[in-house]
């Protein structure tokens, strides 16, 4: 049998989970955001060697940030055009 402390821990976890779900949006939105982050990272990873050949002083982090900014601009333009 579970102790009252165990049950209260379960209740606290349920409350946190509901709060996370209500403030963080839908699961589909989170999945989309995670997928975008993964896509950005892999694109940066695959394109960095070419970037490094041209500009060796640019770090991977700077390259990835540049890609993220470019992708955000494209998304913004796409939303405006819709």
Q: Rounded to whole angstroms, how far apart are CA atoms 39 and 35?
A: 6
- List alpha helices for the chain, DSSP H: 4-24, 27-54, 60-81
Residues of the chain with pLDDT under 70: 1-25
C-alpha of 3 from chain center? 38
Domain ranges, ordered by start, for the chain: 26-81
């Amino acid at each position: 049998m579970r102790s009252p402390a165990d049950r209260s821990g379960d209740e606290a976890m349920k409350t946190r989970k509901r709060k996370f779900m209500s403030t963080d949006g839908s699961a589909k939105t989170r999945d989309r955001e995670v997928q975008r982050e993964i896509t950005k990272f892999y694109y940066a990873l695959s394109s960095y060697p070419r970037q490094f050949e041209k500009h060796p002083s640019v770090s991977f982090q700077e390259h990835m940030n540049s890609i993220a900014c470019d992708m955000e601009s494209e998304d913004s333009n796409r939303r405006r055009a819709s």
